[in-house]
């Protein structure tokens, strides 16, 4: 009466899923995970790949900053008065003093090497952006999971806190907090002390963005039958959290982490621009932009360079993040 | 055949409806509202009813994925109604569930091997032949290629996915399997294959099934007894042949007339007798008083609104045939003759 196993296999594989139909070599036995499928999709997205290349380039630059400065630049706080017009204190050469010696020109008034300051600033900016994204992701994932998985009053409390933080005037708060904190602590020196504080502040205010996504996804995943199936096998909460839920949350978490990095770059730049970020003479892109404001008519390059770098960096991260989201889109399963 | 594996009595599940910041309870969805039945060892009990009548909720109560709000679930003589997660763990080996939606019942991030070996790992079942071999044996058992253990669920069709779900339920060699509409999401051509597979497995492993479906035709082939549910209650339960020959509850009759009649000579009469279920299913939040079917019943009278009909033996039915209706349908009663004018022809 019943069909044998072979018969049913052939019956059903005549109407395979769309995914299976696309597969070129039907013989391949090893399955393709969603990760591999996403990677294939991402590879086809030229714009996202371009963004990724820029991002990787920037990371390399930040990591190799000391070497690059040694080879192609000058110490970031070394004045070069000889490069400046003695009466106007503006760079002597064309385009803000761009030359073989000074790849991106020199600063007016002090004559410091802009190339070195940009590269050095990249190090600070990317450290702040990545570390604060990391802090936001950890907090957001932990609290989002707790809210979504435990539900009840835990969910109510965490959701209210997230609403509160999202409505909070965080820039004002950051300015107030940063201007009263000591310049150095833990013997870190003024640059890394400030990086530390910025990471804390930006990371803390960023977690509700991740938290809301994780909570929402957890709520919908929790209702999926595979979670019930796991429960009906006698799985403990730990297994359900780490084996069933987290693997499905990895993609959205990765995407939103990538997408808050550019936001963090902009926040750091804004805080430095306002004078509460990285303290001078340590270079930062926002600080350079702020210094350039007074010179924008006589030395526009001084403003265009940090502005352009911020723009390109943020754009690259956003393009990559968007591409990643499209590639991992669960709807395009 | 007569020993009861599972007995439920007065079983209720009410989902609270909460409102506002403080989650004040403003009402409840009475998804399951007083079910009494027993499942005998070795049999297949079909559980049939329209969408939303509480079949899945009932199945989840039988397998204790949900905790009942009221009533009792007794498995092999043990009251398991309110056991906690740890106390239930040993029971999980004996009671398993096959889920309604083959697309959401398998974790898309796990390989088939990981999915099917999960029960063995969670329950610490020793596999002398090795985990991989054990998984491959199960795959073979449900008619899938054992070489596919490394593939992901999205690489399989709906029917194949449901087989994976069956293999997972089978891994612990349970006594009772609650199959929640295992074929409803599948193409008609594949439904029979999966039902046949379940049939074969039942014979091979002495399984007891509660087979949930939303129409009577699907369970006819596989069931020994059939229970019909309406709005959280069982309205009729009988041996299969008895039920299909002498349906007593107007709702059962209505459901049956929705079943296509294969015999062309009888089709004519069937067309004439066709009872259309008119009107919406009332909300389980606020079910009708008395008999819950009265808002759609063509035989309803005043008493139906005031007195809830108990589930008992009616007319000259055998002891096994219980109906919850004040005016059960008699054998030669033509439905068409009794149809009220309000029902569109
Ligand atoms: N977790 C829940 N919370 C609140 N209400 C629920 C929940 N689960 C089910 N319900 C409600 O309980 C009722 C019965 O649902 P159930 O899923 O048991 O129906 P069903 O008979 O299985 O329907 P279907 O044939 O569509 O699967 C429905 O009204 C549904 O909305
Ligand atoms: S009790 Fe009354 S309303 Fe209910 S099914 Fe029977 S006849 Fe209809
Ligand atoms: Mg259901």
Q: DSSP readout, A159-212?
A: HHHHHHHHHS-HHHHHHHHHHHS-S--TT-HHHHHHHHHHHHHHHHHHHHHHHH
* CB-based contacts of B106, cutoff 8 Å, min separation 6: A226, A229, B115, B153, B161, B164, B165
Give the residues across from B222 on adjacent strands.
none
In this structure, the strands spanning B322-323 and B312-313 are antiparallel
Q: What percent of chain B shows pLDDT beyond 90?
A: 58
CB atoms within 10 A of CB B20: 7
Distances in whole angstroms, Cα of residue B253 to Cα of each of A112, A159, B95, B260, B322: 92, 50, 32, 13, 14
A156 contacts in chain B (CB < 8 Å): 21, 23
| Residue A16 belongs to a domain | no
A105: left (phi over 0), alpha (psi -120 to 50) or beta: left
| Residue among A292, A288, A260 nearest A272 (CA) | A288
Q: For the stretch A296-318, what's the b/e string if a residue is b when 16 or more beta carbons lie within 10 angstroms of its beta carbon?
A: eeebebbbbbbbebbeebbebbb
Mean pLDDT, residues B96-125: 91
Is B261 in a helix, a strand, or coil? coil
CA–centroid distance, A25 to ligand 3, in Å, is 38
**A with B: how many residue pairs have Cβ under 8 Å apart?**
130
At the topology level, CATH places domain B1-94+174-189+204-223 in Rossmann fold (3.40.50)
Q: For residues A13 and A244, what is the distance between their CA atoms, to the nearest angstrom?
A: 28
Domain ranges of chain B: 1-94+174-189+204-223, 106-173, 248-345
Give the one of A9, A31, A235 whose C-beta lies nearest to B150's C-beta: A31
* CB-based contacts of A79, cutoff 8 Å, min separation 6: A110, A111, A112
CA–centroid distance, A233 to ligand 2, in Å, is 41
Mean pLDDT, residues B97-123: 92
| Residue ranges making up the domain that contains A284 | 46-332
Residue of A nearest to B113 (CA): A31
Question: Do A194 and A183 touch, CB atoms closer than 8 A?
Answer: yes
| Residue A296 belongs to a domain | yes
A15 contacts in chain B (CB < 8 Å): 157, 187
Mean pLDDT, residues B94-98: 94
Cβ–Cβ contact B129 with A under 8 A = no
In this structure, the strands spanning B208-213 and B44-48 are parallel
Q: B52 CB less than 6 Å from ligand 1?
A: yes
- For position A95, what pLDDT does the model report? 66
CA–centroid distance, B10 to ligand 1, in Å, is 18
| Residue among A249, A156, A259, A139 nearest A205 (CA) | A139
Write the residue with the smallest CA distance to atom 6 of ligand 2. B325
Is B236 in a helix, a strand, or coil? strand
Which stretch of DSSP H or E encloses residue B19? strand B4-19
Query: In this predicted complex, what is the ipTM?
Result: 0.84
Kindly tell me if the per-residue pLDDT of B55 is higher than 90: yes
pLDDT confidence tier of residue B333, bands split at 50, 70 and 90: low
Give the residues across from B95 on adjacent strands.
B176
pLDDT confidence tier of residue B126, bands split at 50, 70 and 90: confident
Mean pLDDT, residues B106-133: 90
Mean pLDDT, residues B290-302: 90
Q: pLDDT tens digit string along B236-265?
A: 999 999 999 889 999 998 888 765 555 555
Q: From the CA of B93, how many Å to the nearest CA of chain A?
A: 7
Q: For residues A129 and B175, what is the distance between their CA atoms, to the nearest angstrom?
A: 56
Q: What are phi and psi of B83, to 5 degrees?
A: -70, 150
- For position A102, what pLDDT does the model report? 65
Contact B108 A225 (CB under 8 A): no
Which atom of ligand 1 sits closest to the CA of residue B232? 14
What residues of A are in the B interface, CB distance below 8 Å? 1-5, 8-9, 11-13, 15-17, 19-20, 23, 29-34, 152-153, 156, 224-226, 228-236, 239, 243-244, 247-248, 333
| Residue A37 belongs to a domain | no
pLDDT per 10-residue tile (average), chain A, 333 residues:
37 38 44 77 85 89 80 72 68 66 69 81 88 94 92 89 88 83 73 82 90 92 91 90 90 88 88 82 83 78 84 89 79 47
Q: For residues B244 and B251, what is the distance between their CA atoms, to the nearest angstrom?
A: 13
| Residue among B333, B332, B322 nearest B299 (CA) | B333
Contact B112 A31 (CB under 8 A): yes
| Residue A73 belongs to a domain | yes
Q: For residues A2 and A12, what is the distance between their CA atoms, to the nearest angstrom?
A: 15
pLDDT confidence tier of residue B341, bands split at 50, 70 and 90: very low
pTM: 0.81
Kindly tell me if the per-residue pLDDT of B280 is higher than 90: no
What CATH number is associated with residue A285?
Answer: 1.10.3720.10
Q: For residues B115 and B164, what is the distance between their CA atoms, to the nearest angstrom?
A: 8
The mean pLDDT value of chain B amounts to: 87
- For position B36, what pLDDT does the model report? 93
- For position B339, what pLDDT does the model report? 44
Q: What percent of chain B shows pLDDT beyond 70?
A: 88
CA–centroid distance, B60 to ligand 3, in Å, is 10
- For position B118, what pLDDT does the model report? 93
Mean pLDDT, residues B311-316: 87
- For position A196, what pLDDT does the model report? 83
Mean pLDDT, residues B174-199: 90
Q: For residues A82 and A63, what is the distance between their CA atoms, to the nearest angstrom?
A: 30
Give the residues across from B28 on adjacent strands.
B16
Contact A11 B190 (CB under 8 A): yes
């Amino acid at each position: 009466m019943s069909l044998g196993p072979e018969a049913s296999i052939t019956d059903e594989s005549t109407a395979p899923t769309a995914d299976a139909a696309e597969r070129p070599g039907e013989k391949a036995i090893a399955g393709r995970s969603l990760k591999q499928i996403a990677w294939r999709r991402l590879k086809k997205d030229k714009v996202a790949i371009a963004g990724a290349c820029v991002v990787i380039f920037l990371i390399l630059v930040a990591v190799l900053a000391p070497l690059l400065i040694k080879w192609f630049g000058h110490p970031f706080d070394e004045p070069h008065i000889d490069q400046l017009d003695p009466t106007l204190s503006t760079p002597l050469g064309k385009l803000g003093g761009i030359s073989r010696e000074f790849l991106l020109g020199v600063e007016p008034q002090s004559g410091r090497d802009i190339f070195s300051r940009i590269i050095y600033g990249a190090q600070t900016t990317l450290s702040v952006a990545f570390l604060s994204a990391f802090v936001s992701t950890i907090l957001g994932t932990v609290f989002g999971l707790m809210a979504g998985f435990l539900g009840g009053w835990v969910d109510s409390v965490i959701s209210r806190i997230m609403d509160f933080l999202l409505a909070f005037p965080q820039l004002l708060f950051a300015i107030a907090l940063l201007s009263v904190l000591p310049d150095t602590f833990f013997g870190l020196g003024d640059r890394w002390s400030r990086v530390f504080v910025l990471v804390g502040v930006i990371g803390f205010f960023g977690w509700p963005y991740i938290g809301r996504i994780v909570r929402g996804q957890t709520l919908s995943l929790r209702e999926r039958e595979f979670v019930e199936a796991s429960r009906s096998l006698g799985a403990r909460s730990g297994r359900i959290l780490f084996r069933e839920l987290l693997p499905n949350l990895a993609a959205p978490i990765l995407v939103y982490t990538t997408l808050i990095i550019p936001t963090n770059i902009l926040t750091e730049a804004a805080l430095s621009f306002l004078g509460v970020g990285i303290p001078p003479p340590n270079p930062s892109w926002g600080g350079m932009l702020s210094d350039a404001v007074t010179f924008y008519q006589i030395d526009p390059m001084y403003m265009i360079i940090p502005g352009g770098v911020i723009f390109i960096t943020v754009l690259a991260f956003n393009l990559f993040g968007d591409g990643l989201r499209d590639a991992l889109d669960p709807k395009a399963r | 055949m007569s020993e009861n594996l599972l007995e439920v009595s007065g079983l209720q599940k009410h989902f609270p409806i909460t409102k506002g910041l403080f989650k004040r309870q403003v009402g409840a969805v009475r998804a399951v509202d007083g079910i009494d039945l027993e499942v005998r060892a070795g049999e297949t009990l079909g559980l049939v009813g329209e969408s939303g009548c509480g079949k899945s909720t009932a199945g989840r109560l039988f397998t204790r994925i949900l905790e009942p709000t009221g009533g009792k679930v007794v498995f092999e003589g043990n009251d398991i109604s309110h056991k906690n997660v740890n106390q239930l763990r040993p029971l999980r080996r004996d009671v398993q569930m096959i889920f309604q939606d083959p697309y959401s019942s398998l974790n898309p991030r796990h390989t088939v091997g990981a999915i099917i070996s999960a029960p063995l790992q969670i329950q610490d079942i020793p596999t002398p032949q090795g985990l991989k071999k054990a998984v491959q044996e199960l795959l073979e058992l449900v008619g899938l290629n054992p070489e596919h253990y490394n593939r992901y669920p999205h690489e399989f069709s709906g029917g194949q996915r449901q087989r994976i779900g069956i293999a997972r339920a089978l891994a612990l060699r349970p006594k009772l399997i609650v199959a929640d509409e295992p074929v409803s999401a599948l193409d008609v051509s594949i439904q029979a294959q999966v039902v046949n597979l379940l049939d074969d497995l039942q014979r091979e492993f002495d399984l007891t099934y509660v087979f949930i479906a939303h129409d009577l035709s699907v369970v006819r082939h596989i069931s020994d007894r059939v229970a019909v549910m309406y709005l959280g209650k069982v309205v009729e339960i009988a041996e299969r042949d008895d039920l299909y020959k002498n349906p007593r509850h107007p709702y059962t009759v209505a459901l049956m007339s929705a079943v296509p009649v294969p015999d062309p000579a009888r089709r004519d009469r069937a067309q004439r007798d066709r009872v259309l279920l008119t009107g919406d299913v009332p909300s389980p939040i606020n079910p009708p008083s008395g008999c819950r079917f009265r808002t759609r019943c063509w035989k309803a009278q005043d008493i139906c609104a005031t007195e809830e009909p108990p589930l008992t033996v009616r007319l000259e039915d055998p002891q096994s045939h219980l109906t919850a209706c004040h005016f059960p349908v008699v054998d030669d009663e033509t439905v068409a003759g009794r149809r009220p004018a309000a029902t569109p022809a």
